Amino acid sequence: MKKILLWLLLCLAGCAQAATEITRELVAPDQLVPGQPARVVVTWWTDGWFNPPPQWPAPMPVENGMLLTETEPNQLLSRRRGNTTWSGVRMSRQVVAFDGGNLVLPAISITQPSLQEGPTTAALPALTQPVHWPAGVEQPDRFLPASQLALQQHWQLYRATEDGELHVGDVVERQVTLRAQGIIPAQVPPLLFAVAGTDTQRLAPQSRVLTQGRGDVTGIEYVERLRYQPQQSGSLTAPDVVLRWWDTATQRWQEARLPGKTWDFSPARAAGAETALRAGVPLPWGMLAAWLAVILAGALAAWKGRLLLIRLGKALGYRWQAFWGEVPLPGKIPSHRRIK
C-alpha cells in the first residue's frame, strides 16, 4: 500500500507544470524630457526553473524613441506567494525619446521556451510615457539633459625646441573632459571650436562608460581634443567653453564653464642655419684619429718584428705541407701489376 501511494505521489509531481509569468514596465521620472534615458524592465517569474534561461525579447519596437544597445547586468529575484517560492530574472535596457509628445512601447507577445513544460506566451500591453521640452530651450540640437555634469581641461604645448617660447609652427593642444550621469555619449554636443585665422586639427573624440560594482552603469566620460597651429606671429586666444545643460535632478538650467587662455607666438625660428647644420652631419674626428693611431702602431710593431714573423711563417708553411703531403708506404704498393 505504501508503495502504491509513493508511485501516485511521483506521478502527480511529474504531471504538475511550473507556472511562468512575464511582466514589462517603463521606469521613468514624472517629467521626462527628450534625450533623457528611461529604463524598460522585463521580468520573468517561475515557480520551477528556467530551461533554457530567458533572453531579451527581440524585436521590441519603440515609437518616438529608441532602445540603447548598452546592456545592464541581470538581477536574480525571489518572492513568496502563498506556500510557493518563485524565482525571477530581471533584465533592463535604456530607452530615450527623440522629441516631445509620447514615448510609446507598443503591445507585444513574448514566448518563453521550456524543455519540460513547453513554451509559455505572454501578451504584454502597450506602455506610454509623456515627454515634454523644458521651458527656455534655445537650441534643440544642443539640448543636453543630465543628472550631474562636470568639465575639466588640460593644455599641452608642442615646441620644436625647448626654449621656453612659442614660435610659429608650434602647436597648442586643448583637451576637455566631460563626466556626467544620466546621459549617453551621442548626446554630447561639440565643445571646442576653431579660432578664426588659425589652423586647427580636431582629433577623434573618445568616450567610455563608467561602471561600478557588478557592472552597473554610473555615467560616461567624454574627451574632446583640438590642436591650434598658428601660421603667423601674434597672439592666439582660445575662447571659453560654455555648456548650457538641463539638470534633470533639480529641473532647472545649469551652465558649465571653462576659462580660455591667450598665447603669444613669436616669428618662426631661423631655418637657414638649422637646415645647414642638420644637412651636414659632423665627422667623428676623435674616433678617426684613434683608429689611425692603432693602425700606425700595428704597422710599426710588424716592422720591428719582421724577422720573427718570417720564421713563424716558414714554420707554419712546413707544418702545412707535412700535414697535407703524401706519405710513402714501402712494400705496400704492388709492383708486379702493369697499368695499361
Task: Give the pLDDT confidence of 234-257 residue by residue, as tens digits.
Answer: 999 999 999 999 999 999 999 999
31-74 pLDDT, tens per residue? 999 999 999 999 999 888 888 888 888 888 999 999 987 777 88
- How far apart, in whole angstroms, are the C-alpha atoms of residue 175 and residue 159? 17
pLDDT band for position 16 (cuts 50, 70, 90): very low
Asked which of 9-13, 101-105, 212-216 is least confident by mean pLDDT, the reply is 9-13
The residue type at 139? Q
Sign of torsion over alpha carbons 274, 278, 280, 285: positive
Report the predicted TM-score, pTM, of the whole model to 2 decimal places. Answer: 0.66
Specify the pLDDT at position 273. 43
Mean pLDDT of 213-222: 78
Q: Is the pLDDT at 279 greater than 50, yes or no?
A: no
C-alpha cell at 222: 567624454
Per-residue pLDDT, 8: 47
Give, in order, the Cα–Cα distances in Å from 218 to each of 40, 95, 229, 317, 318.
17, 16, 37, 88, 91
Residues 6+ apart with CB under 8 A from 163: none
State the pLDDT confidence band at 157, using cuts at 50, 70 and 90. Answer: very high
* Cα–Cα distance measured from residue 101 to residue 115, given in angstroms and rounded to the nearest whole number: 43
Return the bridge partners of 9, or none.
Answer: none
- Residue 80: name the closest of 34, 56, 45 by CA: 45
* CA-to-CA dists, residue 175 to 22, 23, 183, 205, 328, angstroms: 48, 46, 20, 10, 92
Q: Which residue carries 518616438 as its cell? A: 64
Mean pLDDT across 274-294: 69
pLDDT top residue among 280 and 287: 287
**278 pLDDT more than 60:** no
